[in-house]
Amino acid sequence: MLNIVIFGAPGSGKGTQSERIIERYKLMHISTGDVLRDNIRRGTQLGQTAKQYIDKGQLIPDQLMIGILADVLDQNRQAAEHGVIFDGFPRTIPQAEALETMLAERGTAVSAVIGLEVPEQELIERILLRGKQTGRSDDNLETVQSRLQVYHNQTSPLREFYVGKGLYHPINGTGDIDEIFASIANVIDKL
């Protein structure tokens, strides 16, 4: 089984590259952002809670998020038989530790972490453009600032966490989408 974490700041291209990865490697895509936005659209209790955090650019609390992820994994055992690409999870050290446990309980583990590295100015430009094109409510200048802050404080320490485990593969996330994918495939093919 191939379990890949796609890692990077908001706007680094995790969703875009995940689409290509699932196609080539027949993995199941779990995007926690998509799961939350789907709940917001359907007006569920979880969606109402999540919206309060997302609109402020904050993270959903770890215990809630970890529970959601366990549910998604359990509901998709069949689809996940070749493995999973985790997009947007883990975002904190406790989430990474929980992921380790959850995968171990299911007899598997993280195979690699693909880190999309993009300079901050470009992240902001991409997110503001996406906000204009899609109307995504958290893609505005004010929320972006707090998302980047949260990324630096809570998420970027995961880089060292996974470097320490020998799982981190940095990828230059700027330039042509196909070329970025080629560098990612080059890593995955060697796993």
Number of residues engaging ligand ATP in binding (CB under 6 A): 21
Q: Residue 64: CB partners within 8 Å, gap ≥ 6?
A: 46, 49
Identify whether 130 is a catalytic site residue: yes
Which among 90, 116, 88 has a CA at the least distance from the CA of 103?
90
15 counts as binding ligand ATP under rule CB under 6 A: yes
Alpha carbons 22 and 60: distance in angstroms, whole number: 26
Question: Is residue 21 within 8 Å of residue 4, measured between CB atoms?
Answer: yes
Q: Which residue, 44 or 81, has its beta carbon nearer to ligand ATP?
A: 44
The option from ligand ATP, Mg ion, none interacting with 184 (CB < 5 to 8 A, set by class) reads none
The binder of Mg ion chosen from 2, 15, 62, 167 (CB under 5 A) = 15
Q: Which residue, 33 or 115, has its beta carbon nearer to ligand ATP?
A: 33
- Measure Cα distances from 120 to 12, 124, 179 in Å: 9, 6, 20
Within 31-156, where are the H helices? 32-42, 45-54, 62-75, 93-105, 120-134, 141-150
What tokens were used for 8? Answer: 């990077």
173 counts as binding Mg ion under rule CB under 5 A: no
The option from Mg ion, ligand ATP, none interacting with 59 (CB < 5 to 8 A, set by class) reads ligand ATP
The binder of ligand ATP chosen from 4, 21, 30, 33 (CB under 6 A) = 33
33 counts as binding Mg ion under rule CB under 5 A: yes
User: Crossing angle of helices 62-75/32-42, nearest 10°?
Assistant: 90
Identify whether 77 is a catalytic site residue: no
- Chain residues binding Mg ion by CB under 5 A are 15, 33
- Chain residues binding ligand ATP by CB under 6 A are 10-12, 14-15, 32-33, 36, 53-54, 57-60, 65, 88-89, 91, 95, 138, 147
